[in-house]
Amino acid sequence: MRIVVTGGAGFIGSNFIRHMLATEPDCGVVNLDKLTYAGNLENLADVERDPRYRFIKGSICDVELVDAILKERFDALMNFAAESHVDRSIQDARAFVETNTLGTQVILDACRRHRVPRMVQVSTDEVYGSLGPSGYFREDSPLSPNSPYAASKAAGDLLVAAYVRTYGLPAIITRSSNNYGPYQFPEKAVPLFITNAIAGEALPLYGDGLQVREWLHVQDHCEALALILRNGHNGEIYNIGGKCERANIDVARHILRTLGKPDSLIVHVEDRLGHDRRYALDMSKLERKLGWRPRIPFETGLKETVGWYEDHVTWWTRIKAGEYREYYQKTYGDLSHVSQ
């Protein structure tokens, strides 16, 4: 199987490429990535010399480039490329619409032109909006995105559905819950909390910290995606959940306990604008149709993830010393009065 992975230098894309090369001996992967602040070729250092893997630097918004790549014959394209951080979309939405919406349309057109037999749009539970204390989102729940990030992803999803309906494009949409695991950029809550805790710095918790997210280990996500790539049905949407809801404050406390650090490192900061209260997925369709459920319990996965960040200090200190520093100051201000 020859596949194009877009956004493969990011968190989930790099884990997916590693998973495919490790589990499918006949797999060939072309990774098209723009290398934004979130793209990092160090994430794939262990596979860069694998003859089955090729990297191309470029944007999914570049019509000529995407067209030239797809002139070669591929069995599938998996679209991971995105601006993915909600807080950044609140600060400036432009790049989100460009990549997540317009970039998706560029890919859809190229897949249609070159008759790519399968396109998988890696989307998110955030397109459904926010839940109260009960209930779950199903694949046919209405789209009701709240952040500019979620709106740009929902627009991408709608374009995929439109191409399926209008042109019969063989595409599938997946919507996963919050991922955690190795190589996640430390602006996201779990790696931010872990790396700040290791450094003895404050863990900035938005608002009351009682917002709930459903956590999915990235390895579980990659396994579900590989299964859908092979056995999913064109035109379908699949929710991929972790079956594990946790309040943010409990995640922060759990990380601190794992690292032997005090709860006093938690600092309640101003809430995120338009902050979604709760996400939770009904993923019975994926269980019923493809027999998939997550394997990695959250506490086990989180402990391993903490261990990974302890073992990869150079990876994340380099990131935190770069462009990210300016972003952190702008987002959180000075929290240096809290440390341990």
Residue 31 is a binding residue for ligand NAD (CB under 6 A): no
Annotated catalytic residue 126: yes
From the CB of 113, what's the least distance to ligand NAD, in Å? 18
Q: What is the DSSP string of 155-181?
A: HHHHHHHHHHHHH---EEEEEE-EEES
Residue 39 is a binding residue for ligand NAD (CB under 6 A): yes
Roughly what angle, to the nearest 10 degrees, separates helices 248-258 and 298-311? 50
Burial class of residue 33 in the structure, from the number of CB atoms within 10 Å of its CB (0-12 exposed, 13-18 middle, 19+ buried)? buried
130-159 burial: b if 16+ Cβ within 10 Å, else e: bbeeeebbebebebebbbbbbbbbbbbbeb
Measured from the CB atom, the residue of 83 and 276 that comes closer to ligand NAD is 83
* Chain Cα centroid distance, residue 337: 32
Measured from the CB atom, the residue of 11 and 163 that comes closer to ligand NAD is 11
Q: Which of 103, 49, 114, 19 is nearest to 76 (CA)?
A: 114
CA angle 32, 305, 204 (to 5 degrees): 95
Indicate the residue whose CB is closest to ligand NAD: 10
From the CB of 334, what's the least distance to ligand NAD, in Å? 26
Q: How many residues bind ligand DAU (CB under 6 A)?
A: 19
Site map for ligand NAD, 61-100, x if CB under 6 A?
x------------------xxxxx--------------x-
Site map for ligand NAD, 160-199, x if CB under 6 A?
----------------x-xx-----x--------------
Annotated catalytic residue 328: no
Residue 53 is a binding residue for ligand DAU (CB under 6 A): no
Q: Which does 248 bind (CB under 5 to 8 A by kind): ligand NAD, ligand DAU, none?
A: ligand DAU
Residue 13 is a binding residue for ligand DAU (CB under 6 A): no
CA distance to 79, 188, 247, 263, per residue, from 205 (Å): 31, 12, 11, 12
Measured from the CB atom, the residue of 9 and 237 that comes closer to ligand NAD is 9
From the CB of 187, what's the least distance to ligand DAU, in Å? 6
Q: In whole angstroms, what is the distance from residue 126 CA to residue 145 CA? A: 6
Contacting residues for 55 by C-beta, under 8 A, at least 6 apart = 8, 9, 30, 31, 33, 41, 44, 48
- 230 three-class SS: helix
Where on the chain is the footprint of ligand NAD (CB under 6 A)? 6-7, 9-13, 32-36, 38-39, 59-61, 80-84, 99, 103, 122, 124, 153, 176, 178-179, 185
Where on the chain is the footprint of ligand DAU (CB under 6 A)? 84-86, 124-126, 177-178, 188-189, 192, 204-206, 211, 213, 248, 272, 279
